[in-house]
Amino acid sequence: RELDAALMARLEEERTARARMAAIAAEVAGLQAGLTGLQSSEAEQRVRVRELQQRFTTLKDEVQAGEDDARRRRFEQTELAELTHQIELERVQSRAELDRTFERLRTEYRMDPESWTPEPLPPEFDAEQAGRELTEARDRLNSLGPVNVLALEEYTKKKERHDFLVQQRADLTSAKAQLLEAIEKINTTASVLFVETFAKVQEHFRNVFKTLFEGGDAELRAVGEDPLECEIEIVAKPRGKHLQSISLMSGGERALTAIALLFAIYLVKPSPFCLLDEVDAPLDDANVDRFIRMLQQFSGRTQFVVITHNKKTMEAGRCLYGVTMQELGVSRLVSVRWDGGEAGPVPAKGAASAARDEALAGATSG
């Protein structure tokens, strides 16, 4: 009995399991059918999505084309507005120019354009040719400028002024040529005279130098091609020394060389009167003696006035003028002749500034 009961229970479980399996199989079949439907729906939806995407792309292109067309139309509208404005401006300007032309016809030519009656143009009339001829005529008229009734009178005055300036220019050109010719002659004459005088000064300078230095030699050199623009170089050779530039000599030698040059220039054309201002200041006693002998040599034909502080030079003079200042601001001249007499009374003078004590030793001739 227990076995039967167990068998029956087992059979019941089997029936229950089979019923469950049948339900599961039915459910699986239903799910498979639903899956098939979903797959079919998915395919349809994909086709729909593709169609919608294509439609969206088409609409997007149409919108872009519409926007481009709208922009083009707005640009054309702007251009048309500007063109309309330009045409309006030209119309206003043309009207203003026409009014000015009418006014000019009324004022200058006494014509009333409003009273004119248009006449038909002849068949052979060429508007383009007439326009070109009108433009050429207007250009020629504008090139003439406004009519000046005083032009003839102004031309006469300008011509007289022009003729006067031409004559002045001719005179100036002739004067310039004459001046250049005169300058050329003067330069030629001056060059010849300079060369001749330079040769004479050179000869006298060499002789006077030998006398003052008791020997030696000296030379003047013209440095440069143009005699009137050249520099003069002094080259000296005292006794017992080499030939050298004057810049290398001692102060006393340079002073004595300068004195030799002064006397050389003087000997080219001696003057009756000569003033020397302290030329013996740098000289020692021996050179002062040579300087005095040179003065005495030429004093027979020239009167020398020498300003000096050197006692030997004072003693060599024939007449001595001493300048003293006994009172502040008052100078007094004292004259003495070495032959025992006086040179003559010299009144006292008041000086605005303090005068220095100095002596004038004059070696006079006659």
Return the pLDDT at 361.
39
Q: What is the dihedral of CA 32, 33, 39, 42, to 10 degrees?
A: -130
Instruction: Give strand ranges (E) for 182-318.
Output: 217-223, 231-237, 244-245, 273-277, 303-308
Give the three-state DSSP class for 161: helix
**Rounded CA separation 73/70 (Å):** 5
Return the pLDDT at 179.
92
Query: Does the structural domain 163-269 have CATH classification 1.20.272.10?
Result: no
Burial call 105-133: b when 16+ CB within 10 Å, e when fewer: eeeeeeeeeeeeeeeeeeeeeeeeeeeee
Query: Does the structural domain 271-366 have CATH classification 1.10.150.120?
Result: no
Instruction: Give strand ranges (E) for 128-230.
Output: 217-223
Q: What are the domain boundaries of the chain? A: 1-112, 163-269, 271-366
What is each CA distance from 345 to 32, 48, 269, 315, in whole angstroms? Answer: 170, 153, 34, 21
Residue by residue, pLDDT tens for the chain (366 residues) are 666 777 777 778 888 888 888 888 787 777 777 778 777 777 787 888 888 888 888 888 888 888 888 888 888 888 888 888 889 888 888 888 888 888 877 777 667 777 766 677 777 777 788 888 878 887 887 777 666 667 778 888 888 999 999 999 999 999 999 999 999 899 889 888 988 998 999 899 889 888 888 888 888 888 888 878 888 888 888 887 777 777 777 888 888 888 889 899 988 888 888 899 988 888 888 889 988 988 888 888 889 899 998 888 888 888 888 888 878 888 888 888 866 444 444 444 443 333 333 334 343 333
Return the pLDDT at 339.
64
Which residue, chain included where needed, has tokens 């639903």?
A: 34
Q: How many CB atoms lie within 10 A of CB 260?
A: 26
Return the pLDDT at 231.
86
Answer whether 101's CB lies under 8 Å from 134's CB. Answer: no
Return the pLDDT at 16.
83
Return the pLDDT at 348.
41
Q: Tally the residues of the chain.
A: 366
Instruction: Give strand ranges (E) for the chain.
Output: 217-223, 231-237, 244-245, 273-277, 303-308, 319-327, 330-337, 349-350, 358-363
Closest CA to 283 of 313, 245, 315, 319: 313
Closest CA to 278 of 214, 358, 189: 358
Which residue, chain included where needed, has tokens 């399996």?
A: 21
Return the pLDDT at 149.
60
Return the pLDDT at 167.
93
Q: 308: Cβ–Cβ under 8 A, 6 or more apart, which residues?
A: 278, 280, 281, 314, 359, 360, 361
